[in-house]
Amino acid sequence: MKKLLLSLLLCSSLLSFAQDWQPFPLGQTSFFETNEITFNGSDTNIVVLHYDTLFDRGNFQTMFFSYNDENFGNCYSNVYFNPNQGPFSQTNYYLNRVRPDTITINNDSIFFFFANNSMLFLPKSTVGESWYSTIYISATINKLQFTCDSVYFDTVVGNITDSLKIISIKAFDNTTPVTSVFDNQKIILSKNFGYQQMVVFNGEFQSPLILNGLENNSTQEGFYYPDFTDYFHLNVGDIVIWREDFQGDIMNPNYTKFYKDSITTSFLSTDSVYYNIKREQTNGSTSIFNNKYLRRDFEWLNKPTSIFVDASIYSFSGYMDLWDSYPIFRSTNNIINREVDYLGFQLDTTTCGIGQITDTEIALQYNTKFGFSHSLDAGWFMTSWDIIGSTINGIQEGVLWSTLVTGINNFENNPNIKIYPNPSQSGNFVLESELVKSIELVSIDGKTVFTQIINQPKTKIKTSLPKGLYFVKITFENKQQVTQKLIVSE
């Protein structure tokens, strides 16, 4: 009955709601591209926004983001707007930097409500029309002037064309115009498909977000979510090399281990994937295990950037575990990556109370090259798993397993070679050994990062390398080579 009433409410709202020139068309999933969200280095981030709900308040209407996407019951406002709990969510942090929390529509006026701010927007303004809106952005910017510069017909995204409106922005300190990041940014608004260029109104972004895909009831164009089968497609013979890092305490010392996973059986279907895997360690030990992935457990791969409930990922208790889905990020080699995080937040759908399990952080990452590609478990201790090498479809990339095995075994079998301190700070260490001709430091991804000629049995080496694991290739005067492991701690 509850769902029926909500449906009737939405239908009645849609009858009176004109979509022309709306920044976020109701029911449309929009994919915006940016390089300015610090998430994974210089990779391109794709923020997915979906305003799916419109409530008719009589004299005005209110739109909400991902209201029906999640199974929050009546607790939506507590999850997204609770000042004591919501800001701890990393997704809320990203969303608060990019999009409004809520949109209120009053005739031709739109009010964007952010975490601690609001702004007037007039999407139906005509060419030459200007308006002002108070909005606190910084100590020197508390007002913005918007001007509709022009209207023209052009491409929105892909093969979609539409009328487009360009709106320029000028920042003010009370009545004084000031130079700002908005001077070189333009809003471009499509008549039927919303923002084609979206300016972020927190003053942090140097350029607007660009629409690179959309999907609604009748149209799908440009970028769209990869399918489940795009993530899980390893075949027999494929190899993945893992690095496991553990950070403990004096009773549970830190360690780094390496594993080679070889796919020996691969069953792929549209709804499930099954791998039989042979795992080798650098000490020569082996084990066999199975991994099974079901489409129904990965519905979050096709969710907007949002907070969601999904007990199938990792359930801690009878409460509803609140997970964050980060923006999609696309690597330079066009690999699509998605990450979900659990920071210990739990929702009681009876009282709408939100609690938190302390010392809890789970991060899982999947991409369209390997499937499962990264994990972090940060509780009392911290364990992370990362892929550092692979052979997929016969193409080898990253670290060679033979290099790892040789380096670690040689390290164990050459007591006459001394490298200390190890771990070292900033990659500065002392090398002691007779008849050494030169050394070469190689990073975990196989790149040479430092070389030096050696002409004495005890040499101070200064490399200033960043934190990480490196291999020291030592060449002797008789041209023999030995590889040792160096850990840079800071």
Where in the chain are the domains?
A: 2-220, 229-396, 401-488
Domain 401-488 has CATH 2.60.40.3080: yes
Cα dihedral 390→394→397→402 (10° resolution): 70
Could you report the per-residue pLDDT of 432-473, keeping only the tens digit for each?
988 899 999 888 766 788 999 998 889 999 988 888 888 888
Q: Are 433 and 457 in contact (CB under 8 A)?
A: yes
Burial 130-149, CB ≥16 within 10 A → b, else e: eeebebebeeebebbebebe
pLDDT score at 90: 56
pLDDT score at 125: 96
- For 293, 330, 443, the CA distances from 313, given in Å and listed in that order, are 11, 23, 34
pLDDT score at 411: 47
- For 17, 46, 79, 445, the CA distances from 112, given in Å and listed in that order, are 17, 21, 19, 46
pLDDT score at 319: 73
Q: Residues with Cβ < 8 Å from 274, sequence gap 6 or more?
A: 265, 266, 267, 290, 291, 292, 293
What average pLDDT does the chain have? 84
Tell me which DSSP letter residue 471 carries: E
pLDDT score at 84: 47
Q: Name the more confident of 123 and 247.
A: 123
pLDDT bracket for residue 345 (50, 70, 90): confident
pLDDT score at 133: 96
pLDDT score at 11: 38
Q: Name the more confident of 312 and 101.
A: 101
Tell me if the pTM is above 0.85.
no
Pair of tokens at residue 101: 């929390």
Tell me which of 26-40, 289-303, 309-323, 421-435 is least confident. 309-323
Q: Cα(120)–Cα(104) distance, rounded to whole angstroms?
A: 10
Per-residue pLDDT averaged across 51-80, rounded? 81
Per-residue pLDDT averaged across 422-431, rounded? 86
pLDDT score at 408: 56
- For 41, 203, 443, the CA distances from 200, given in Å and listed in that order, are 20, 7, 38
Could you report the per-residue pLDDT of 129-154, keeping only the tens digit for each?
999 999 999 999 999 999 999 999 99
Domain 229-396 has CATH 1.10.10: no
Q: Are 458 and 432 in contact (CB under 8 A)?
A: yes
Per-residue pLDDT averaged across 405-419, rounded? 63
Could you report the per-residue pLDDT of 189-246, keeping only the tens digit for each?
999 999 999 998 877 788 899 999 999 999 999 999 999 999 999 999 999 999 898 8
pLDDT bracket for residue 7 (50, 70, 90): very low
Q: φ, ψ for residue 239 (rounded to 5)?
A: -130, 135
Within 10 angstroms of residue 347's Cβ, the number of other Cβ atoms is 24
Could you report the per-residue pLDDT of 363-374, keeping only the tens digit for each?
999 999 999 999
Tell me which DSSP letter residue 222 carries: E
pLDDT score at 312: 57
pLDDT score at 155: 97
Could you report the per-residue pLDDT of 260-274, keeping only the tens digit for each?
999 999 999 999 999
pLDDT score at 3: 38
pLDDT bracket for residue 303 (50, 70, 90): confident
Burial 353-378, CB ≥16 within 10 A → b, else e: ebeebeebebbbbbbbbbbbbbebbe
pLDDT score at 223: 94
pLDDT score at 81: 65
3-state secondary structure of 78: helix
pLDDT score at 473: 85
Within this chain, domains 229-396 and 401-488 share the same CATH topology: no
Tell me which of 63-77, 236-250, 381-395 is least confident. 63-77
* pLDDT above 50 for 485: yes
